[in-house]
Amino acid sequence: MKLLRIGYVTAAILGLLWSAVVAICMAITLALLTGAAVTPGLLAAMPAGALVGVLLVWGKLNIPAKTYVLAALFALLLVALRLGQPFGISLGESSLAQSLALIGIAFATVGPLKAMLRGLPFGALNRHEFEGAVIKFLTGFGYVFFTVIVAIPFFVMVMTSFKSQQALLVNPLDYSLDLSKGWGLFRSYVELFRDFNFGSYLLTSFFVSVMTVLLTLLFSVPGAYAVARLRFKGQAAMSRSILLIYMVPMIVLALPIYIAFSSVGLRNSIFGILLIYPVTTIPVALYMLQGYFRGLPAEIEEAGLMDGLSRLQVIWKITLPLSLPAIASVSLYVFMIGWNEFLLAFMLLDDPSKFTLTRGVAMLNSSEIPRQHLMAGSVIATIPIMLIFLGLEKFMTKGLTAGSVKG
């Protein structure tokens, strides 16, 4: 530990690690965008990174435009150490992308590294300086790490939907878009809407989700108000049991529901789905809303009661307008559950004319239907919820944390 807390040692290690992170990311990016057989070349990038790290903390190196000089040095070293092939392929192949990537890798290594090592002395470090540098490195690593793990699956989902089955089998890494195809790129989407009825699934899902929201609110608003505001025996037990319902796994309920629906003939009906969906969301909604209602000042409601309003009028005219933000959060959250629900739709719907979107996508998972259709279906299922989420992110985040929330 003592040995680590020397300026140039810390700088060398962080430089080595950071350049490895950047080199791997850049190689993955380049590979996915060009489809070329790129390798990260860690054996070249890491020593170069370590050297740049040491130079960054070397106080005597006082030159203008230090970042640019060091970036150039890093790029040169990379080219030299890999014998003129900084990404393991000849520079003639996708030259433009390679040169951009080389500039990118140099600055992405040197720039953040400079920030991480800022103010670090060359010699012995105290605990604060050492930990500060390590934390800055971990922060940088964290941003890269999370962005990569979240972005790659979505990138693959979208790009696969534009490709053809053969192209994927020939080179699974090639996600470059063949722009010459023009609108032909959207073939999978056109086919899904034309041949696979996805327009109707989209509408069904939308209808089911909106109805679920409305029914859930209709049931849970009065219930939540009762639990939060009114005094009665069994109040505590009620709010406990609401939580308990959270903990019953859906598959345990789905089995008897399947049996019951089969014998009553409610399978394959949207009506049957609408009987079940709201009940799975009411406890969550009730729990979230009662937390909010408790936080509202009781005095306003009491004033309303004094002025001769009945309890229900108080709820309608005072409590509800005050809790619109919470109701918006709950609605969004319930909409999301309804939209994403898979298990019940999968078990209860067999008739392709009545599918919801998730059930429709599940239907595409067959060996006879090409992969890009499945991915295009996934994109269609994802985009509406993503748009809603991005547009109303504040409400959503609040809603998700407001009550503890099922997932």
Partner 1 sequence: MQDSPKGTGPLGKREAKLAWGMLAPTIISASLVVILPLLAIFWISFKPITLGDLRVPTPEVYERIKGKIENAGDEALYDLRLTNSSREEPITGVTLQDTLPEGMIILELPPECTLNGRDLFCEFGDWEAGYRERLRIPFSGTQAFVDADPNPRESVAILEGQANSVLFDSTFTLKNFVKIFDGREFWSVIGVTLFYAVFGTIGALVVGLFAALLLNKSFKGQGLLRGLYLFPYVTPVIAVAFTWVTLFDPFSGSANALLIQMGVLAEPINFFGQKPQALIMVTVFEIWRYFPMSFLFILARMQSIDSSMYEAADMDGASPFQKFWYLSVPQLAGILSVLFLLRFIWTFNKFDDIFLLTGGSAGTRTLTVDVYEQAFAVSNIGAGAAVAVVIFAMLLVFSYFFFKYGSQEEGL
Binders of partner 1 among residues 71 to 130 (CB under 8 A) are 127-128
Residue 325, amino acid: P
Q: Is 298 in the site for partner 1 (CB under 8 A)?
A: yes
Please tell me whether residue 237 binds partner 1 under the rule CB under 8 A. Answer: no
Site string for partner 1, 16-35 (x = CB under 8 A): -----------xx--xx---
355 touches partner 1 by CB under 8 A: no
Q: Give per-residue burial for 246-272: e unless 16+ CB within 10 Å, then b.
A: eeeebeebbeebeeebeeeebbbbbeb
154 binds partner 1 (CB under 8 A): yes
Q: DSSP characters for 58-112? A: -TT---TTHHHHHHHHHHHHHHHHTTT-TTSS-TTTTHHHHHHHHHHHHHHHHHH
62 binds partner 1 (CB under 8 A): no
Chain centroid offset of residue 210 CA: 23
Q: How far is CA 165 from CA 60, 162, 193, in A?
A: 58, 10, 19
The nearest distance, CB 258 to partner 1, in angstroms, is: 8
From CA 388, how far away is CA 336, in angstroms rounded?
9
C-beta of 71 vs 212, nearer to partner 1: 212
The whole-angstrom separation of Cα 322 and Cα 302 is: 14
Interface segment toward partner 1; rule CB under 8 A; list 2-10, 56-64, 97-105, 217-225: 217-225
Asked if 343 interacts with partner 1 (CB under 8 A), we say yes
54 binds partner 1 (CB under 8 A): no
Among 278, 292, 293, 323, which residue interacts with partner 1 (rule: CB under 8 A)?
Answer: 278
Question: What is the closest distance, in whole angstroms, from the C-beta atom of residue 47 to partner 1 in the complex?
Answer: 18
Q: Say whether residue 40 binds partner 1 (CB under 8 A).
A: yes
Residue carrying the six token digits 């878009």: 177
With respect to partner 1, which residue has the nearer C-beta, 73 or 342?
342
Is the CB of residue 86 less than 8 Å from the CB of residue 102? yes
392 binds partner 1 (CB under 8 A): no
Number of residues in contact with partner 1 under rule CB under 8 A: 110
- The correct pick among 142, 184, 199, 295 for binding partner 1 (CB under 8 A) is 142
